[in-house]
Chains A and B, each alone.
Chain A
C-alpha cells in the first residue's frame, strides 16, 4: 500500500492527516484505529455523553473533503513493526507497508493488579467504555471511583448528578493535586463534598470483594465500602509496545524532536498526541508527554508538515515547537480552565477570588509565570494566556 500510514484514529491521527494534505502531500494515507469508530471527541465521555447518552455520530469530528480518499482500517491495532523493512503488522495478521509512519497510538488507562472479581470494574477511555459505565449509573448505585484525577472527578460529578452514591478513593492528599496544587485541589474537593461525594484520600484499594462480581471494596486502612460499580481512573500507559525492537526511546511514550520526528535512520517516523514525548520551547525543560485537549491538534499539525517534507525529499523545518498546553474541566456547574504547565510550578498564588469560589490561580517557577487556572472566570484568563504565549517571544 505504501504512502503515509497513521497508527491511531483519534484526534492526533486525524489532525496529522489533515496537515499532510495541507502541506501538499498527495500520496496515499491509511489510518488504522483499534476502535470501530471514526475519530471522535473524547472529553464528553465523562460528562455530557455519560449523563445524556453516547451518540457517536454527534461526537465524531468533521472530516474535511481533503481526507475523502483516506483508507480507514478500523477495529484493528498494530501489534508489531519493522522500521527497517518499513512495515507494520496488524492484529488481523495483515502486513502494511509504508513510506512514512505516524505514531498516533495514544494511551490506555493504567490497570493495577488488585485481587477480586473483574465483573463490575470499568475503565473510561472509549465511547464503548462510556456506554457500559452509563448502564450502571442509576439512582441508588454505589459507585467507587479509584483515582482523583480529572477523569475520576468529572465522572464523580456526573454520577452524583444522576443520583448515584459516589466515593472517591485515591492515594493523593487532594483531588487533581498534581496539576492544581493542594489548595485549589482542596477547593475542588469542597465542591464535590457539597454535592455529597465522599473521599478516602491517602488510601488504596486492597481488594475487590464479591461472588463473581464486585459487591464491595476493601481499603488499605481496613474500611469496607459497598460498590455496585467501580471505575478505575488511575492514570495512563502509552501504547508503544508495537514499536518494540526498533531501537527507539520508549521510556515514557515515544521521544520526538521539535518537528515531532522520531530519531531513527531506518524510516521517516513522526509521533503525535498523548503518546509523543516532545520538547516545548515555551516552557523548556525535558521533553514531556502532555495529555491535554489541544496537544493532538498542535503536534499533529507540526508532524504533518514534517512528514510531508520528508516524503517530498525536503528537509523539515527545524523551528522550535511552541504550543500552549490547554485543558478544561466541567464538574457540576463549575468550569475549570488551565493554560500552560501549572504542574511545573514551585510557587502558587491565588490572584483573584478564593479557591472555594470563582477564582484565578497563578503558577510560577524561577522563570516566571508558567501556568494559570481559572474556575468560572473564563474572560479573566484571556490576558494570562497572552502573557504565557509571550514567554516564547521573550526567550527567543
Chain B
C-alpha cells in the first residue's frame, strides 16, 4: 500500500512549511511552488499528514 500526496498548485503560495516539516517528501520548484514526492510507502503517512497540517493554504492532500 502506498500513500499518494498531491499539492494543489493553484492554491500553494510557496510558503515552504511542508519542506521544513518533511524535506524528503516536498521541495519547492523554480516557481516556488511545492512539489510532492510520488507515491510513498505507508510508513510515511504520518509525516505526510503532518506536512499537510502545517500548510496554511490547505493545499496538500494525503490519500
Contacts and interface: CB of A to CB of B under 8 A. Distances in A.
A339 B16 CA distance: 13
A54 B52 CA distance: 21
Given A326-B20, A328-B17, A294 B56 contact: no
Contacts of A381: 20
Contacts, number: 50
Interface string A308-345: 00000000000000000010101000010101000000
A218 interface: no
B49 to A, nearest CB: 9
B7 to A, nearest CB: 14
A72 interface: no
Interface string B7-47: 00001011111011001000010001000000000000000
A381 B23 CA distance: 12
A379 B23 CA distance: 10
Given A330-B13, A335-B14, A378-B28, A43 B20 contact: no
A294 B16 CA distance: 13
Nearest to B27: A379
B3 interface: no
Interface stretch (A58-66, A127-135, A137-145): A58-66
Contacts of B54: 293-294, 297
A59 B55 CA distance: 11
Contact of B56 (A293, A339, A378, A385): A293
Chain B contact patch, size range: 10 to 19
A44 B57 contact: yes
A126 interface: no
Contacts of B16: 328, 335, 337, 378
A15 B49 CA distance: 13
A41 B14 contact: no
B2 interface: no
Contacts of B11: 58
Nearest to B23: A382
B57 to A, nearest CB: 7
A59 B14 contact: no
A48 interface: yes
Interface in A370-386: 378-379, 381-382, 385
A61 B20 contact: no
A22 to B, nearest CB: 10
B58 A382 contact: no
A43 B58 contact: no
A47 B54 CA distance: 17
B15 A328 contact: yes
Contact of B15 (A15, A59, A330, A382): A330
Given A381-B20, A382-B23, A335 B58 contact: no
A48 B23 contact: no
A330 B52 CA distance: 19
A304 to B, nearest CB: 13
Contacts of B15: 328, 330, 335, 337
Interface string A47-74: 1100000000011111000000000000
B39 to A, nearest CB: 20
A48 B11 CA distance: 10
Contacts of A297: 53-54
A15 to B, nearest CB: 8
B29 to A, nearest CB: 12
Contacts of A41: 56-58
Given A297-B53, A339-B20, A378-B28, 12 more contacts: A15-B53, A41-B56, A41-B57, A60-B58, A61-B58, A293-B17, A328-B15, A328-B17, A330-B13, A378-B19, A382-B19, A382-B23
5 contacts: A44-B57, A59-B58, A328-B15, A378-B28, A385-B20
